Copies of this chain bind each other. A is one copy, B any other.
């Protein structure tokens, strides 16, 4: 039932794959059957499980969010840190802060095309902190 942390260095808006880092946490916990809970400790970045094969899918998602939560013309009050301040919080609320992935026989049960991504909503580079808790039977006990 270990909770560990890792950091993601972002270089502006977009998706950053973190699947390998979460898989490593599962391996280090030697978990057989259980769950991996991923949590991003910020309110202007979020998590999504997303298509991991075709980079056009990520680009389309990013453009969709630019239209859905536009930086201009909405009359936000909360803009102290710039036009991408309030939009970041909204985009985070529309996606996810925690994602929980079951573990079976020592592996995340991700489908073929699923990857775990940190979704950066700010224009500037940031260092993002992600927590991973792995809870489950030990790999040996699960046989």
Q: Which residues of A contact B (CB under 8 A)?
A: 1-3, 5, 33-35, 37, 39, 41-43, 48-51, 54, 56-57, 59-61, 64, 67-69, 74, 76-78, 80, 86, 89-90, 92-104, 109-111, 113-114, 129, 131-133, 135-137, 142
Contacts and interface: CB of A to CB of B under 8 A. Distances in A.
> How many of these chains are in the complex?
3
A49 B43 contact: yes
A76 B67 CA distance: 12
A97 B78 CA distance: 26
A37 B114 contact: no
A86 to B, nearest CB: 5
A113 B43 contact: yes
A60 B33 contact: no
A41 B90 contact: no
